[in-house]
Amino acid sequence: MSRCAVLLRGINVGRNNRLAMADLREVLEGVGCRDVTTYLQSGNALVDADPEGLAARVEAALPLPVRVVVVPAAGLAAAVAGCPWREHAEAAPKLVHVTYLDRDPAPQDLAPLVGVHGDDELVAGLRVLWSRYTSSSLDSPLNKVLGRAGLDVVMTARNWTTATRLAELASG
C-alpha cells in the first residue's frame, strides 16, 4: 500500500456527472482503499492503496462513466516541483494548470502540442503537462488544441492551488 491520489475526470462540473464526495469515499473503500480523504467537490481523493490497476477498479465501481487517473504521492510532488512557471503560478494560481496523465503519450503525438499557442504555453514532463494561461483557460487556443490532440491517454487537469494542496496532503 502506498499513498496516492485518485483523480476523477470531469465530475461536478456544472450539472454534469454529479457525484457526492461521500459516495466517492464509499466507492474507494469498496475497492480496497484505506485512509480515504477527499479534497473539494471535484473528484480529488487521497488514499492508501496498491496503485496497480486501481484506476480500472474505481472506474468499474463508479455509478458514472468517468475516467480516473491515479498519481502516486511522489508524482504529485514532482508535478509541483517541476513547474516551469513557479512565480507565475504562485501569483496567479488559477492560470497555471497541472494535467496528470495515466501514462506518457507517444512523443510524436505530444510534440505538436508543446510550446506556445496564442499567448498560452504548454510544457511536458513525465506523465504530466503544465499549462500557463494569460487570461483564462476557458477560451484558450491551447485548450482547443489539447481537446483535439488525440493523445490516447487518460488525462485530468487541476489548477495550481489544487495541485499544490494535493501534494501537501499526500506528503502527510
Q: What is the 3-state secondary structure (H, E, C) of 78-97?
A: HHHHCCCCHHHHHHCHHHEE
Question: What's the sign of the alpha-carbon dihedral 47, 53, 57, 62?
Answer: positive
Same domain, 66 and 79: no
Same domain, 107 and 155: yes
DSSP, collapsed to helix, strand or coil, labels residue 160 as helix
**Cα–Cα distance between 28 and 30 in angstroms, integer?**
5
* CATH code of residue 118: 3.30.70
Please state the domain count of the chain.
Answer: 2
* The residue to which cell 480515504 is assigned: 36
Return the pLDDT at 48.
98
pLDDT of 149 > 90? The answer is no
Same domain, 157 and 121: yes
| pLDDT tens readout for residues 38-84 | 999 999 999 999 999 999 999 999 999 999 999 999 999 999 999 99
Q: Which residues contact 74 (CB under 8 A, 6 or more apart)?
A: none
| pLDDT tens readout for residues 20-38 | 999 999 999 999 999 999 9
